[in-house]
Structure 1
Amino acid sequence: MFEVFKKEIIELLRDRKTLFFIIALPMLIFPIILGFVAFLTSQASLKAEQQVHTYYIVNTQFSTVFSEEIFYHKSFKKYAGQKQFDSVEQLSEAVKEGIIDVGIFIPNDPKIAIQAGKQSQWQIVFNDAKAINFIFNRVRSVASKLSNELRTRALKDLGVDIRHQPALLTPITISKVDTADKRENYGEKLGALIPYLLLPLVLMGASYPAIDLGAGEKERGTLETLLLTPVTRSELVLGKFFTVLASSIACTLITVASLAIWVSVASSFVSLEAVKTAFNSVTAWDFILIFSLLLPVAAMLSSLVLAISIYARTFKEAQNYMGPLSMAVFVPIAVSLLPNMELDNVTALIPITNVALAIKEVVKGTVDQGAIALIFIASAALASLLLLSCVRWFKKESVLFR
């Protein structure tokens, strides 16, 4: 078995393409993904923040103060065309046709309405389908300022002292006291995304060498030569398995190390408050624990991809089988993101999902050692079962020579 393992490792180290996917890609993928997402987010936010919107107000005579505030607002410019709009329907059509960006319909004079004990219900017409849209908040901010002034004046006319107005308008105030610290708060959000990066890379680190060690051997005609050597089939498949496992572990180790290094680098040079808060308290032991959680997953996936590769007739057929397997890995990761999905004695037994939840708990700093032990036991048992199945699979003539 050791000689087979040694032979496969030497051949693996000679394959530059596989080395790129195992070593180079994990080291580059984090800065590329984090940098690209941060760049796109900052650019989109900056563009949305600086965008000037064309507006049209129906019945400006009902609130000249508001009209002037909008006119001099840096984010708005008045519609300079010849068309006239008199209703919400016409404003909606103008927005859809791109004539204006926002329409404001003022139905009556708010000063007269408040004297009659009624509300002046304004309508803001705009396209809210964009991911980053400041239109409504900006208009509401200007309108709220006017609304507060009218309310204060009306209450004063009714004899209510200005000092008593806040208590009269809001007799009870509620403040939030969060028992979760910032690491737990941000870790809940960022920790759920880490498995989306780590687990697919673990699969990738196993699949590339596995395809070559199984289907590749068949296609090249070298598998028959290996079967003629004085090595049992169990030793042969175990040698190949440990080669695939070593590749997956190497990819996992490089991935976790890359994550730790690039988060540290990004926190030093980039103002990412959420990332800093979530990862500043993550110790080296936590990263070791994340790596340890990925080990049984690497063993499971190594057994699966090797069995698939052994079954496939050609290199291309094996690659086609890896696609559905990749999707199957994403499903349990997605399950871990479901609302109220937490790590307990039940979820600790669900493959892949348990590791994804545990990684999130590690980042949050709320990891349960008992649940971690249960995950290791369950994952190790499943990995052993899959490896045993792979060994028996390799012994079947109908699989090797199909």
Structure 2
Amino acid sequence: MGSVRSNSIRPNMVWRIAARDLLSTLRDRRTLAATILMPLILIPALSLGLPLLLGSFIGGQQQERQKVGVVGTLPPALRTALEQDEKVDGKTVRAGVDLVAVQDPKKAVQSGDVDAAIQAPVALPTRAGEGSAALEVYAKLSSLSAQAGAYGKVQDVVDGYNRTLTLDRLKGLGLGADTLTPVTVKPIDASPPQEQRSGQLAFLIPFLMLQFILSGGMATAIDATAGEKERGTLESLLVSPVRRAEVVTGKLLATTITALTSACFSVLGFIISGLVAALFLANRSGLGADITSSMGGQLTLTLGGTLGMLGLAASAALLISAVLIAIGIYARSFKEAQTYIAPLTLIIVLPAVMLQFADFLTLSTAVYAVPLFGSMISILNIVKGAAQLDQILLAILANVIGAALLALLALHSFGREEVIFRN
């Protein structure tokens, strides 16, 4: 019994080692900024700023007048429709275009004199039944500005012009507008309310959360292992009356706390983004607000969802911290450790890219047993309100088992002199 007690881990010693490494981290202002400020700045910028920027850009293009070159003569009704503003409740939702005569439509677009140009090789019909003709539209089709502005407006107006001619012909035959569409499609979103609010960029939440866990724990882990080897303080720690298991556990605890701090601030960043998005959508309407709503989304969590996300974040932080400690102790120097750890970003980025195509993937329960990736999917499910308790627990268990195995590897490395003294 005495030998068992002597080999057991002493919690107070573990905490002293952890506090020692945390104090070293707190002294580095750059690390604090990366752990606290970066999630609060980057997450709202990516999850809210990008949709706001895109929505404002497209909405602005719709409400601004562009120049459209014209070669030849257009039917008066079509010309009027192109130049006329579309208003709703007295507010312009789609501005018309300014038609200007040009000689060469292609050169006029390429030179930037006009945003788009139209040319009718033959006279356009003014009544349905007079045949058909092609209206050539010149624009830089790879340009988002043209798609949202001049080219998109011309296309919409021509579609409306065709429908007007057809309806006039049907009216003369005694038929109504419903003759063209005897069956209409009424889309009804069957997604849970929380999934509707999460938006199209919901896959960024697990990606950014794990990315900040990695960046948050990286500085502490490298400094507590390879950094101490470089400074020569690790040897003095190991010859002191401290057990190797306590050293590994203390450094793992310090790294996990730092990583979790970054994760908590990343969740706070998403909550701030959701609140700001809600205020923006409440005060604005129109195309820009619709795009922001569909892309940006809002993070709203239930108590169970919050606990599940915290559990997943904690287990992921523990696993990532164990990876960092195992790699850091093997490296000869701080820079070498950074070189070894750099590919870990790809391990997070590549699965996160797959999450945006999650609807096309057939996911079995076994996927949640894959460390980190199972956590990403579970976090995405929580955000969308489709999480299941057994899947969350399986993902957490997979992370804990992986962390335990890596901690044993780190403990083995701490016990090998050729690793400790390889610098």
Question: What residue number does 1:274 align with?
Answer: 293
Q: Separation in 2 of the partners of 1:170 and 1:43?
A: 33
Question: What residue number does 2:129 align with?
Answer: 115
Please list every run of 5 or more consecutive structure 2 residues that lacks an aligned counterpart in the other structure.
Answer: 1-12, 86-94, 283-288
Aligned partner of residue 121 in structure 2, secondary structure: coil
Give the stretch that moved more between structures: 221-230 or 105-114. 105-114
Distance 1:101 1:319, change over 3 A: same
1:260 matches 2:265: no
Question: What residue number does 1:229 align with?
Answer: 240
How far is the alpha carbon of 1:34 from its aligned partner? 4.8
Distance 1:318 1:266, change over 3 A: same
1:329 matches 2:341: no
Q: Separation in 2 of the partners of 1:275 and 1:102?
A: 29
AA aligned opposite 2:140: N
Aligned partner of residue 68 in structure 2, secondary structure: strand
Please list every run of 5 or more consecutive structure 1 residues that lacks an aligned counterpart in the other structure.
Answer: 86-90
1:345 matches 2:365: yes
How far is the alpha carbon of 1:285 from its aligned partner? 3.4
Question: What residue number does 2:71 align with?
Answer: 58
Question: What residue number does 2:208 align with?
Answer: 197
How far is the alpha carbon of 1:220 from its aligned partner? 0.9
How far is the alpha carbon of 1:301 from its aligned partner? 0.7
Question: What residue number does 1:4 align with?
Answer: 17
TM-score by length of 1: 0.85
| Preserved contact between residue 279 and residue 363 of structure 1 (Cα < 8 Å) | no
1:240 matches 2:262: no
Distance 1:216 1:192, change over 3 A: same
| Preserved contact between residue 67 and residue 116 of structure 2 (Cα < 8 Å) | yes
1:151 matches 2:170: no
The 5-angstrom pairing of residues 1-400 of structure 1 reads 1-2=13-14, 3-34=16-47, 36-37=49-50, 40-60=53-73, 63-71=75-83, 74-79=95-100, 84-85=103-104, 91-111=105-125, 114-116=128-130, 118-132=131-145, 133-157=148-172, 160-161=173-174, 164-187=175-198, 189-264=200-275, 266-268=277-279, 271=282, 274=293, 279=298, 281-338=300-357, 339-341=359-361, 343-400=363-420
Aligned partner of residue 343 in structure 2, secondary structure: helix
| Preserved contact between residue 202 and residue 249 of structure 1 (Cα < 8 Å) | yes
Aligned partner of residue 79 in structure 1, secondary structure: strand
Cα deviation code 1:270-291 (max 9, x no counterpart): 6477389954752243223212
Question: What residue number does 2:286 align with?
Answer: none
Question: What residue number does 2:421 align with?
Answer: 401
| Preserved contact between residue 256 and residue 318 of structure 2 (Cα < 8 Å) | yes
- The two structures, once aligned, show a CA RMSD in angstroms of 2.9
TM-score by length of 2: 0.81
AA aligned opposite 1:386: L
How far is the alpha carbon of 1:250 from its aligned partner? 2.2
Q: Separation in 2 of the partners of 1:393 and 1:211?
A: 15
Distance 1:277 1:205, change over 3 A: closer
Q: Separation in 1 of the partners of 2:62 and 2:70?
A: 22
Aligned partner of residue 24 in structure 2, secondary structure: helix
Give the stretch that moved more between structures: 376-385 or 140-149. 140-149
Aligned partner of residue 111 in structure 1, secondary structure: coil
Distance 1:350 1:134, change over 3 A: farther
| Preserved contact between residue 216 and residue 315 of structure 1 (Cα < 8 Å) | yes
